[in-house]
Amino acid sequence: MTWTRRGFLSAATLAPLAAQDQNEPEVASSRPNILLILGSDLPAWALGCYGNKEIRTPNIDLLARTGTRFLNSYACTPMGSPSRATLFTGLTPPQHGIEDFLTPNPVDNPPQGQKAPPGSFSSQVMISDLLAGNGYQCGYIGKWDMGSDAKPGHGFEYSYTLSPESGYTNPKMFLNGNAVEETGYLPDLLTNRAGEFLGRQKPGSPFFLTVGYLNPEAPYEGHPRKFYDLYANSRFDTIGWEPAAANALRDKAYLSDIVGNNRKHAAAVSALDAQLPALLKHLRSHSLSENTLIIFTSDNGCLLGRHGLWGKGHASDPVNLYEETMRVPLIWRWLGKTPPEATRPELVSTYDLLPTLAAITGAQLPRNREYCGRDYSRAAFNRPSKQAWRMLLFGHFRYADMVRDARYKLVLRQDGKGPNELYDLRVDPRERVNQYDNQQFLQVKNALTREIAGWRKKYS
């Protein structure tokens, strides 16, 4: 949809900030099994189904062709731990507080604010808490990264989680809270444990299983040689990388060999892609495919040399909320329910997952919490809705806030003290021309500034 500045202002006044869809849940009576496949630091633009011409992801692309792919799916924050917390709680980073536990880099300017009380995050309600209370068997396998790595709790009766200091080879793991030292390749171990969990499931008893792969998170060593060999001669001419920027901060060492490190990153992505056939085979072998909703997504994106930066939100000083770090893949596949080869344009966020899964499973949201997300299941199933989808999407990281609509994106830092950014994404999708001080965009800037103020007031 094309937006004029006047059109934006009209729509912004009509679209409620966090309206809930009043339609009846589309498939709540079906109580599907749910398999959530979660990548780490995996941007949407690194996948073939999102237009990448050089990184090979045939299995993820096939999953997209057999289901619904969201074109505009975003993390609420460009950082793993708080992003995962938003994904599972439906709360914004200022609400769930896990961001406050992150140690700031001494050169970050300004530093983070006051620390949250110890243990405050453990009291938050996750989607697994809701589903476990609604008859679901819940399992978590892989990278947790939200505190209590040894034993996640939150309704997960089966857990196989990664010790934070472990990598891709011979990792230290926790099996239901007990430390185990494994031999082998981490993704294979995770997929095998997923098969073990699926083999325990009983007919008629739904499950919610998350498989959180470490791929393609750095460091990029430790993957089978065959994946590196795929990219031995790749130049990554279509990536759009740039020489190191003056404000590069975290992970800037990777910028000394951008092509070489893109080869390693691509190998990690393809290694993740290669796990899907075995994971889906486990579903089929246990006769679970037909009633299992598969969701594929990531916690946040990665720059990989774009903007002259490598990592994610803290790759630069000041912190950034570029599209590359915020936009993540989102694919839904439920055989017979999601239409094949479907794409959806709606702006959806990680904070929308909890209300969406609650709607399709019949779980009740806590009444004592303010959720800014809403149920997007009708879009996933390509069903009409009586209520128009909201036109605004928000983000937050440390001292920076973001809002975007179908055309414009505003980033405010330090409560508007700056440095601030405004982009016309329709003509400048790579965010190269900052229009914040351009008087031609004053009306848009002021309207979006008010939206950020209203969002922060209600959801912090």
Q: Kindly report the backbone phi and psi dihedral angles of residue 35, in degrees, each rounded to the nearest multiple of 5, phi listed first.
A: -115, 110
Number of C-beta neighbours around residue 439 at 10 A: 8
Q: Kindly report the backbone phi and psi dihedral angles of residue 323, in degrees, each rounded to the nearest multiple of 5, phi listed first.
A: -55, -40
Q: Which amino acid is at 335?
A: L
CA separation for the pair 163, 174 (Å, rounded): 7
pLDDT in tens, 341-395: 999 999 999 999 999 999 999 999 998 889 999 999 999 999 998 889 999 999 9
- In the block, residue with structure tokens 């990448």: 52
Q: Look at residue 460 in the predicted model and tell me its pLDDT.
A: 83
Domains annotated for the chain, with CATH where assigned, are: 30-390 (3.40.720.10), 399-460 (3.30.1120.10)
Contact 396, 94 (CB under 8 A): yes
CA separation for the pair 300, 298 (Å, rounded): 6
Judge whether residue 194 has pLDDT over 70: yes
Q: Look at residue 22 in the predicted model and tell me its pLDDT.
A: 43
Q: Which amino acid is at 130?
A: L
pLDDT in tens, 411-435: 999 999 999 999 999 999 999 999 9
Among candidate residues 179, 191, 242, 246, the one with its CA nearest the CA of residue 215: 191
Q: How confident is the prediction for the chain on average, in pLDDT? A: 90
Q: Look at residue 121 in the predicted model and tell me its pLDDT.
A: 65
CA distance readout (Å), 174 to 84, 194, 362:
19, 14, 31
Judge whether residue 17 has pLDDT over 50: no
Q: Look at residue 102 in the predicted model and tell me its pLDDT.
A: 53
Q: Name the packing angle between helices 5-14 and 442-458 (round to 10°).
A: 20
pLDDT in tens, 129-152: 999 999 999 999 999 999 889 999
Among candidate residues 279, 240, 282, the one with its CA nearest the CA of residue 262: 240
Judge whether residue 181 has pLDDT over 50: yes
Contact 142, 190 (CB under 8 A): yes
Tokens of 131: 């589903």
Judge whether residue 408 has pLDDT over 80: yes
CA-based radius of gyration for the chain: 21
Q: Is 321 exposed, middle or buried (0-12, 13-18, 19+ CB in 10 A)?
A: buried
Task: Look at the pTM and tell me if it is higher than 0.85.
Answer: yes
202 vs 296: which has the higher pLDDT: 296
161 vs 164: which has the higher pLDDT: 161
Judge whether residue 292 has pLDDT over 80: yes
Q: Look at residue 165 in the predicted model and tell me its pLDDT.
A: 86
Q: Look at residue 101 in the predicted model and tell me its pLDDT.
A: 53
Q: Look at residue 364 in the predicted model and tell me its pLDDT.
A: 93
CA separation for the pair 437, 117 (Å, rounded): 39
Calculate mean pLDDT across residues 251-263.
97
pLDDT in tens, 85-125: 999 999 999 999 887 555 444 444 444 444 444 445 678 89
Provide, rounded to the nearest whole percent, the portion of the chain with pLDDT above 90.
Answer: 83
Q: How many CA atoms lie within 13 A of 453 on its CB side?
A: 8
At 409, is the pLDDT very low, low, confident or very high (cuts 50, 70, 90)? very high
Tokens of 313: 């939100």
CA distance readout (Å), 9 to 372, 373, 405, 408, 444:
20, 21, 11, 12, 7
